[in-house]
Amino acid sequence: MSKTVLYEDEIPGGTHWSMLMRKGTTLRLVDNQGGANVGMLFYNPLNYLERYNAPDTLKCQHTFKLTRGHCLYSDMGRIFCSIVEDTLGWHDTVGGNTTKKIVKIKWGERNYQEYRNDWYLNGYDSFLVELAKYGMNERDMAANLNLFSKVSADDDGNLLFDQTNSKNGAAITLRFEMDTQVILHTCPHPMNPAKDYPKVPIVYQISEAESLAENDYCRNLCDENQRGFKNTELYNIGCGC
Partner 1 sequence: MLSGNKRMIKESKLKSDNALVRANVLAGDYYIKVVKQGQIFRILDLEGNQAADTLFYNADNPSERYSAIDTIREQGNLYLTAGSKLFSNEGNEMLEIVADTCGRHDTIGGACATESNTVRYALEKKCMHACRDSWMLAVAENEEYGLTKRDITHNINFFMNVPVTNEGGLTFEDGISAPGKYVELKAAMDTIVLISNCPQLNNPCNGYNPTPIEILIWEK
153 in contact with partner 1 (CB under 8 A): yes
63 in contact with partner 1 (CB under 8 A): yes
How do beta strands 16-21 and 180-185 pair?
A: antiparallel
Q: Rounded to the nearest whole angstrom, what is the least distance from the CB of residue 227 to partner 1 in the complex?
A: 5
Nearer to partner 1 among residue 62 and residue 195 (C-beta): 62
According to CB under 8 A, which residues from 155 to 174 bind partner 1?
Answer: 155-159
Give the interface segment with partner 1, choosing from 5-13, 36-44, 192-200, 220-228 (CB under 8 A): 220-228
**98 touches 190 (CB < 8 A):** yes
Neighbours of 8 (CB within 10 A): 12
Neighbours of 169 (CB within 10 A): 11
- Tell which one of 65, 68, 104, 110 touches partner 1 (CB under 8 A): 65
Nearest to 144 by CA among 153, 160, 131: 131
32 in contact with partner 1 (CB under 8 A): no
How do beta strands 202-209 and 47-51 pair?
A: unpaired
**209 touches 2 (CB < 8 A):** yes
Nearer to partner 1 among residue 141 and residue 212 (C-beta): 141
Looking only at Cα atoms, what is the longest distance across the chain? Answer: 56
Q: Rounded to the nearest whole angstrom, what is the least distance from the CB of residue 108 to partner 1 in the complex?
A: 18
Binding positions for partner 1, rule: CB under 8 A: 49, 53-56, 58-60, 62-65, 73, 75-78, 90, 94-97, 99, 101-102, 137-144, 152-159, 190-191, 224, 227-228, 230-231, 241
